[in-house]
Amino acid sequence: NPPPVIFEDDRTSVTTEGLKRAFYDHLFYTQGKFPEIAGLGDYYQALAHAVRDRTLQRWISSVADHTATAPKTVAYLSAEFLMGPHMGNNLINLGIYDTVKKAVQEIGLDLNELLRQEEEPGLGNGGLGRLAACFIDSLATAEIPAFGYGIRYEYGIFYQTIMDGWQVENTDKWLRHGNPWEIQRAEWAVEVKLGGHTEQYQDDLGRLHVRWAPEKTVAGVPFDSPIVGYKVTTTNTLRLWRAEATEAFDFSQFNRGDYLGAVDKKVTSENLTKALYPNDETVQGKELRLEQQYFFVSCSLQDMLRIHKARGMEPDTFDQKFAIQLNDTHPAIAVAELMRLLIDDNMMPWDQAWGITTRTFSYTNHTLLPEALERWPLDLFKRILPRHLEIIYEINARFLNDVRIKFLGDDSRLARLSLIDESGERYVRMAHLACVGSHTINGVAELHSELLKQDVLKDFYEMWPEKFTNVTNGVTPRRWMVLSNPRLTKLVSETIGEGWITDLPQLSKLEPHAEDSAFRDSWRAIKRANKVDLAALILRRTGVAVSPDSMFDVLVKRIHEYKRQHLAVLHIITLYHRLKSGRSAYTLPRTFIFGGKAAPGYTMAKLMIKLINAVGDVVNNDRDVHDLLKVVFLPNFNVTYGQCVYPGADLSEQISLAGKEASGTGNMKFAMNGALTIGTMDGANIEIRDQVKAENFFLFGHTASEVHDIKASGYRPRDIYEVNAELRAVVDLIQTGFFSRGDTDVFKPIVDNLLDHDPYLLLADYQSYIDCQDVVSDTYREADTWARMSILNSARSGKFSSDRSIAEYAKNIWKVEAVPITLKPEKELYM
């Protein structure tokens, strides 16, 4: 027998001394450096490893407990997880932020500076990916056993720079310095098939089965990151898959002397998870994208079946142990893949497999935009997933039979509902597959869920009204308040205790304090300090000095015509024009802060960025304006910058055309942090206004139903331009090249589109927006009124915690419960 290993009692101590010791250990043993030659990057890595170590006792305790007791587990399938930096969040959730800050200080370093070293994992485009990140935080905090399953893109969302006012995309090399937050699990790699054909065969008992003979296979290797719940032991797993070649070399090819050919295969396999598609709400229909989707779905389902079997259970109880959420249709192929795994690999009869499948899946829709609906040309689909096409045909045949029974003789309904679009070129409709294969379908805000039933999924609603429900989105207060706004967190916790951090409705206890002038002063001082920080970030990134005494008017989100960033530009030009023509006695000093990325192929969105910058160039440098107006475009808006932007905002712009923004989640982050909203009756804005009350919300614009009517009766934007003199002056300034050194061509696509089509009704909402903005300015001048409203916005934002969203999913959709975990002593976990 080997001699027993002697353990220190507490290898992952969280005392200042213990943390300092761990830091130096990692600097030495992990980084291989000593202080004299170490740089900030080394210090960051040393601290990151020390913090990661402190997640492991909880992580292993959780996994050990889950393995032993096999509780029902959520699998959140998402092509995107926009996590943002891990370190700060882990420090908060582990409850060691202050101690680590002190330990780092005693070493002679600054925690904030170390936190800034982390390259954020930008494995998502925007709201959808960030929602997945908030949800897994809330799942762990609620002590619900859960996996996040996704793709470990080597390049996340591109790094945006601005050159001459135009967006330039650069690759996001987030893995450049390694990722201390992941553990590679090579032993749980799986194989994924692609292409080829199917064949029938008989088993020993003479039963017929189908075999898929693929053209190629790729390996999926899981990379795990701990997702620590807030001040609980539960630590779940984010499992992201990387594609690798099944054989590093094809030896036969290699031996034939075709070295590069053999290596080429390896490179092709690894291309699968190379890059995130940077399109938000538009599909490109690229083969590689379908391969990515299938790849991560197949890896994840194989993994769940492996875990299920390892826990001693048969596939026929799969639905009792896993609830799988489809984050939009990106993972919808999972419906056909689970059927394939159950039928072809586990020899299960169709009906039983279908029962398990439909009891396992639920589907969240995130958009009504037609250009975002995923459909795959049939020939492409068949080329990559021949077996899945057969399964989809069979699902469709049985489904359409049910439709026939329910709606006898309604042939056009059959065509509308079919999983295959046969109106022209034939397509597989992924939303239809998701709807048929799921027991529950939800939208992400009340209005959105209603519109789903009336619009894109109307026929499915009529078929299965009981499947439809709403779960309004939410955001995690741990990252979006505690971590990003420590000043506010301190004041709030001193005032009402710390309960709000996991029970956000408790923020309502702040309401009476809105009438306390000393409290309002503290509240204002915090906003002012946050604005100083934001001004510093803006100066560093844009070179423009902005004053924290001006109103910070912020519009940050992906750039899209339906989000109407250009409507905000029309407002800026309106104010500018009033100033120049001496028609405003006093203009409130305002700083307009924009941020967001445009899809690289979305020409109009890129032109909108150029317009913002062009207007900024003129306005910022015009002496006549006396610094009353500043316009900045903060490049590369991401989670890290969001953490500085939301707390520093006075006004939150949520100005999408009503009926277009499914929910929005930035709107919630702003409100929690005390910004007032100017917004339309769209997405979750409606619910925010309900909560904070109409008098604390700046509402403008047509409603979704008015929008519908305006379009139905033949909308003519040019008529509005003709009769509204101020609007005409504004549009003419752009049109005549005032913001483009006389160049009348650059912005012509925007102007022509607005005057002749204006699909997002900017002109129809223009006057209402301008009038509303005038009210905003008047209100802001009354500092006390504004502070009261700001406090009430925060105090009444309790509904918008992702903890509430997750509680609803858990109870109504997943039927899962909390599994409290007791922290096991390290010694026990070791042996």
Binding site for ligand B1N (CB under 6 A): 125, 127-128, 131, 279-281, 328, 366-367, 372, 444, 473, 661-665, 683
- Cα torsion through 795, 800, 802, 807, rounded to 10: 100
Alpha carbon distance 790, 673 (integer Å): 8
With beta carbons less than 8 A apart as the criterion, state whether 80 and 128 touch: yes
Q: How far is the CB of 698 from ligand B1N (least distance, A)?
A: 20
Q: How far is the CB of 829 from ligand B1N (least distance, A)?
A: 37
Question: Would you say 134 or 625 has its CB closer to ligand B1N?
Answer: 134
Per the structure block, which two tokens stand in for 717?
């934007």
Alpha carbon distance 158, 169 (integer Å): 6
Question: Would you say 48 or 649 has its CB closer to ligand B1N?
Answer: 649
Q: Which of 758, 770, 796 is nearest to 700 (CA)?
A: 770
Residue 362: burial class (beta carbons within 10 Å; 0-12, 13-18, 19+): buried
- Cα torsion through 265, 270, 272, 273, rounded to 10: 180
Q: By beta-carbon distance, which residue lies closest to ligand B1N?
A: 127
With beta carbons less than 8 A apart as the criterion, state whether 462 and 703 touch: no
Q: Which position among 558, 610, 630, 660 bears the catalytic label?
A: 558
Q: How far is the CB of 224 from ligand B1N (least distance, A)?
A: 24
- What secondary structure letter does DSSP report for 701? S
Q: Which position among 479, 563, 630, 804 bears the catalytic label?
A: 563
Q: How far is the CB of 663 from ligand B1N (least distance, A)?
A: 4
Q: How far is the CB of 451 from ligand B1N (least distance, A)?
A: 12
Question: Would you say 562 or 715 has its CB closer to ligand B1N?
Answer: 562
- What secondary structure letter does DSSP report for 549? T
φ, ψ for residue 597 (rounded to 5)? -105, 145
Q: Residue 23 half-sphere exposure, CB side, CA atoms within 13 Å?
A: 27
Residue 517: burial class (beta carbons within 10 Å; 0-12, 13-18, 19+): exposed
Residue 161 neighbours by CB under 8 Å, 6+ apart: 167, 168, 170, 635, 636
Q: Which position among 665, 677, 680, 804 bears the catalytic label?
A: 665
Specify whether the backbone of 244 is left (phi greater than 0), alpha (psi in -120 to 50) or beta: beta
φ, ψ for residue 743 (rounded to 5)? -75, 115
Q: How far is the CB of 281 from ligand B1N (least distance, A)?
A: 4
Question: Would you say 148 or 214 has its CB closer to ligand B1N?
Answer: 148
Looking at the DSSP bridge assignments, the partners of residue 197 are 213
Q: How far is the CB of 220 from ligand B1N (least distance, A)?
A: 21
Q: Which position among 606, 669, 788, 804 bears the catalytic label?
A: 669
Question: Would you say 269 or 279 has its CB closer to ligand B1N?
Answer: 279
| Catalytic residue flag (residue 558) | yes
Question: Would you say 366 or 520 has its CB closer to ligand B1N?
Answer: 366
| Catalytic residue flag (residue 703) | no
Taken as a whole, the chain contains a residue count of 831
Q: How far is the CB of 795 from ligand B1N (least distance, A)?
A: 23
With beta carbons less than 8 A apart as the criterion, state whether 805 and 471 touch: yes
With beta carbons less than 8 A apart as the criterion, state whether 51 and 100 touch: yes
Q: Which of 519, 800, 816 is nearest to 670 (CA)?
A: 800
- Please calculate the CA angle 683-686-689 and round it to the nearest 5 degrees: 140
- Which residue type is seen at 116? R
Q: How far is the CB of 797 from ligand B1N (least distance, A)?
A: 16
Q: How far is the CB of 687 from ligand B1N (least distance, A)?
A: 12
Per the structure block, which two tokens stand in for 701?
């614009």
Q: How far is the CB of 99 from ligand B1N (least distance, A)?
A: 35
Q: Which position among 366, 387, 467, 788 bears the catalytic label?
A: 366
Question: Would you say 123 or 336 has its CB closer to ligand B1N?
Answer: 123
| Catalytic residue flag (residue 490) | no
Looking at the DSSP bridge assignments, the partners of residue 801 are 475
Instruction: Report strand pairing: 166-170 vs 159-163.
Output: antiparallel
Q: How far is the CB of 236 from ligand B1N (least distance, A)?
A: 20
φ, ψ for residue 462 (rounded to 5)? -70, -30
φ, ψ for residue 441 (rounded to 5)? -125, 130
Question: Would you say 154 or 661 has its CB closer to ligand B1N?
Answer: 661
Say how many C-beta atoms besides its own lie within 10 A of residue 729's C-beta. 14
Q: How far is the CB of 406 from ligand B1N (least distance, A)?
A: 30
Question: Would you say 234 or 667 has its CB closer to ligand B1N?
Answer: 667
Question: Would you say 24 or 562 has its CB closer to ligand B1N?
Answer: 562
Question: Would you say 279 or 636 has its CB closer to ligand B1N?
Answer: 279
Say how many C-beta atoms besides its own lie within 10 A of residue 248's C-beta. 12
| Catalytic residue flag (residue 527) | no
φ, ψ for residue 440 (rounded to 5)? -140, 140
| Catalytic residue flag (residue 557) | yes
| Catalytic residue flag (residue 669) | yes
Alpha carbon distance 554, 653 (integer Å): 6
Question: Would you say 444 or 733 has its CB closer to ligand B1N?
Answer: 444
Residue 503: burial class (beta carbons within 10 Å; 0-12, 13-18, 19+): middle
Question: Would you say 284 or 454 has its CB closer to ligand B1N?
Answer: 284
User: How big, in percent rounded to 5, are the helix, strand and coil portions of the chain?
Assistant: 55, 15, 30
Residue 776 neighbours by CB under 8 Å, 6+ apart: 651, 676, 678, 698
Q: Which position among 130, 448, 557, 564 bears the catalytic label?
A: 557
762-765 LR contacts (CB < 8 Å, sep 24+): 762/564, 762/566, 762/567, 762/570, 762/717, 763/717, 763/720, 763/721, 763/724, 763/727, 764/702, 764/710, 764/715, 764/717, 764/720, 765/564, 765/567, 765/655, 765/657, 765/680, 765/700, 765/701, 765/702
**Which residues are annotated as catalytic?**
366, 557-558, 563, 665, 669
